[in-house]
Structure 1
Amino acid sequence: MYVAVKGGERAIDNAHAWLGEARRGDRDVPELTVDQIREQMALAVNRVMAEGSLYDPDLAALAIKQARGDLIEAIFLVRAYRTTLPRFGGTAPVETDRMAVIRRISATFKDAPGGQVLGPTFDYTHRMLDFTLAAEGEAPVAPRTDAMAAEVPHITGFLNREGLIEQEAPSDAVPPDLTREPLELPAERALRLQALARGDEGFILGMAYSTQRGYARNHAFVGELRIGTVAVEMEVPELGFVIEIGEVELTECETVNQFRGSKTEPPQFTRGYGLVFGQTERKAISMALVDRALRWEELGEDNSGAPAQDAEFVLYHSDNIQATGFLEHIKLPHYVDFQAELELVRRLRREADGGGEVA
């Protein structure tokens, strides 16, 4: 047994060395640096930060390099590192009204107060391979305007004035922290939003798409999608007042959804909401659609049985780290379990052939 264990350790060490060699690739090609990943693969970095629940572009870029571009593995690395960090306290809610916007669009109002800013987006590209990128020449410098640093009101605020959209009462209650306590059902909306924010982008996208195809009565308009930086503020007990401790880039999406009314509420629009680290707009929109689908009960709607309306199904299966762990553990040795199953099948076959039990 001791020889087997030592042999296993040698095999694992060799596997690690081989992984490092494969990660490096052809040594005649310059090594990819963390700075290059951070600056030129920003959308991948943003996803790793969002689903890793840690805003640090440098660490996210390092994790992507270490994981050879496997974003779920990189997210796993970031989450694992996050557990080693001390917690100094909580910050004040970010004020997205005061976001320094680099992109802001609305699908509901053409002449949105404050203007629409297309920003850096693939929306209007032709989806054709650009072979000039393979030439590795200098990228052209795009003309640009400064970010909208002034306060930019939310589009839904204008619907609020006419009473056409549900009112959201502010709350001083401290929301539960999913990163410190395990998920429990039934989950309030704040906890659901946390789970969706760090859920797998592909899974959340699939759930959102299902609502658009009719698996939940959820016809949505993008009331507003905005991307930019916001100040992060924290109250320091020794000072007795709030100070700014940094900035983060966020993507925020508010959807406007139909609502026929209920016994207590008149017909009006309702909301779906998404807020994610970095420029992660596909995720933010998907999150808003799923958020709205999960609100059927509090809005007094019927449950059509759609997957996106099932909080237990959505929340327990959206976490790609839990899913990966459970899925990939079947690669590990299950020799004893399989031998038991094998013996059971052999016995059943003997019984089926009329041979009965064999001593």
Structure 2
Amino acid sequence: MYVAVKGGERAIENAHAWLGEERRGDRDIAELSVAQIREQLKLAVNRVMAEGSLYDADLAALAIKQARGDMIEAIFLIRAYRTTLPRFGGSLPLDTAEMACERRISATFKDLPGGQVLGPTFDYTHRLIDFQLAANGEVAEAPSRETSADPVPHVTGFLNREGLIEEAGEGEDTPPDLTREPLEFPADRSLRLQALTRSDEGFALGMAYSTQRGYGRNHAFVGELRIGEVAVEMEIPELGFAIEIGEITLTECETVNQFTGSKTEPPQFTRGYGLVFGQSERKSISMALVDRALRWEELGEDNVGAPAQDVEFVLSHGDNIQATGFLEHIKLPHYVDFQSELELVRTLRKEVEEARAAADMANQVPEAAE
């Protein structure tokens, strides 16, 4: 037994060494630096920060390098590291109306105050491979960029003036923290939104797509999608007031959904909401669609049995770290379990064969008697 254990340890060490060699790749090619990943693979970095629940571009870039580009593995590394960090306190709620927007669009209002700001987007690009990038061609510099220093009001506020959209709820004073407490059901909206922003982008996208295809009766318009920097403030007890401790880039999406009304509420529009670290448009829109689908009960709507309306199904399967752990553990040794299954199948097959043999014998007895 001792020899087997030592042999297993040596095999694992060799596998780790081989992994490091594969991660480095051809040594005749310059090594990819963390700064290069941070600056040139920003969307991947943003995803790792969002689903890892840690806003640190350098650490996210390092995790991507260590994980050889495996996003879920990088997210796992970030979450594991996050648990080692001390917590000094909580920040004040972010005021996204004060966001310095570099991108702000609305699919519902053409002439919105402040104008449509396209910003850096793939929306209007031709999906053609740019071979100039392979030749390390220089990219033309963009025109001077300006972000509005003035507060930019939310588009839904214009609908709110006429009472055409539900009022945004104030929420709880101190919502539960999913990073410190296990997920429990029933889950209120603040907890659902936390789970959705940490959920796997592909899973959230699939759930959102299902609502658009009729599995949840959720026809939505993008009221507003905005990307920009928001100040983070924290109250310092010794000072007696809040100070700004930094700025973070966020993507915020508010969808506008039709609502036929109820016994207490007139027909109006309702909201779906998504907020994600970095530039993560696909994730924030997906999050807003799923958020709206999960609100069927509080809005007095019918549950049509759609997956996106089942809060336990959505929240229990959206976390890619939990899903990966449960999925990938089956490739680890299960020798004892399989041997028991093997013996069971052999026993069942033996019983079937014996029953068949007995039936054949019974069928042959009358013939012999004649």
Q: Distance in 1 between matches of 2:145 and 2:199?
A: 34
Offset at residue 150 of structure 1 (A): 1.1
Which residue does 1:162 correspond to in 2? 162
3-state SS in 2 of match to 1:303: coil
Q: Does 1:132 align with 2:132?
A: yes
- Aligned mates of 1:171, 1:3 — CA distance in 2: 59
1:23-172 aligned at under 5 Å gives the runs: 23-171=23-171
CA distance in 2 between counterparts of 1:176 and 1:249 reads 23
Give the aligned partner of residue 186 of structure 2. 186
- TM-score, scaled to structure 2: 0.95
Say yes or no: does 1:255 pair with 2:234. no
Equivalent residue letter for 1:194: Q
Q: Tell me how far apart the structure 1 counterparts of residues 300 and 287 of structure 2 sit (CA, whole Å).
A: 21
2:22 is paired with a residue of what secondary structure? helix
Match of 1:350 in 2: 350
1:164 counterpart SS class: coil
Matched residue count: 356
> 1:339 — aligned with what?
339
2:260 is paired with a residue whose SS is coil
Q: How many angstroms apart in 2 are the aligned matches of 1:144 and 1:344?
A: 72
Give the aligned partner of residue 271 of structure 1.
Answer: 271
Which whole-Å CA distance do the structure 2 matches of 1:171 and 1:188 have between them? Answer: 10
Is the contact between residue 171 and residue 190 of structure 2 (CA under 8 Å) also seen in structure 1?
A: no
Structure 1 residue 199 corresponds to structure 2 residue 233: no
Aligned-partner SS, 2:268: coil
State the percentage of identical aligned residues.
80
For the 8 Å contact 2:236–2:242, the answer to whether it is kept is: yes
Distance in 2 separating the partners of 1:341 and 1:80 = 35
CA distance in 2, matches of 1:344, 1:49: 47
160-169 vs 312-321, greater mean Cα deviation: 160-169
Distance in 1 separating the partners of 2:354 and 2:251? 67
- Matched with 2:230 is 230
Q: What CA distance in whole angstroms lies between the structure 1 residues aligned with 2:304 and 2:323?
A: 26
Q: 1:47: how far off? A: 0.2
AA aligned opposite 1:227:
I
CA distances 1:181-229 after superposition (whole Å, capped 9, x unpaired): 0100110000000000010000000000000000011110000000000
- What one-letter code is carried by the residue in structure 2 that aligns with 1:122? F
Deviation at 1:149, TM superposition (A): 1.9
Q: CA deviation at 1:172?
A: 5.1
> Take 2:257 and 2:355, find their aligned partners in 1: how far apart are those partners?
66
Larger radius of gyration: 2
How far does residue 319 in structure 1 lie from its aligned partner after superposition? 0.2
C-alpha deviation, 1:144, in angstroms: 2.9
The C-alpha deviation readout for 1:111-154, integer Å capped at 9, x for no partner, is 01111100000000000000000011222111133112210000
Amino acid of the structure 1 residue aligned with 2:243: I
Task: Provide TM-score, normalisation by structure 1.
Answer: 0.98
> How many Å separate the matches in 2 of 1:309 and 1:82?
31
Corresponding residue for residue 307 of structure 2: 307
Task: Specify the SS of the correspondent of 1:136.
Answer: coil
1:19 matches 2:19: yes
CA contact (8 A) 2:235 2:241 kept: yes
TM-superposed CA distance for 1:238, in Å, is: 1.4
1:143-181 Cα distance to aligned partner (Å, 9 max, x none): 133112210000000111100001123245200000000
* Corresponding residue SS for 2:279: coil
In the alignment, the residues of structure 2 paired with residue 316 and residue 171 of structure 1 have an alpha-carbon distance, to the nearest angstrom, of: 23
Structure-2 separation of matches of 1:347 and 1:173: 61
- Cα RMSD of the aligned pairs, angstroms, is 1.0
> Counterpart of 1:209 in structure 2: which amino acid?
Y
Q: How far apart are 1:355 and its partner, in Å?
A: 6.9
SS at match of 2:259: coil
Distance in structure 2 (CA, Å) of the matches to 1:140 and 1:126: 17
**SS of residue in 2 equivalent to 1:258:** strand
The one-letter amino acid of 1:234's match is M
Extract unaligned runs of 5+ from structure 2.
Answer: 357-370
The secondary structure found in structure 1 opposite 2:85 is coil
Cα distance in 2 for partners of 1:109, 1:225 equals 12
Report the 3-state secondary structure (helix = DSSP H, G, I; strand = E; otherwise coil) of the residue aligned with 1:353. helix
The AA in structure 2 aligned to 1:275 is: L
> Which residue of the partner structure matches residue 216 of structure 1?
216
Q: Name stretches of at least 5 consecutive residues in structure 1 with no aligned partner.
A: none
SS in 1 for 2:354: coil
Stretches (4+) displaced over 4 A? none
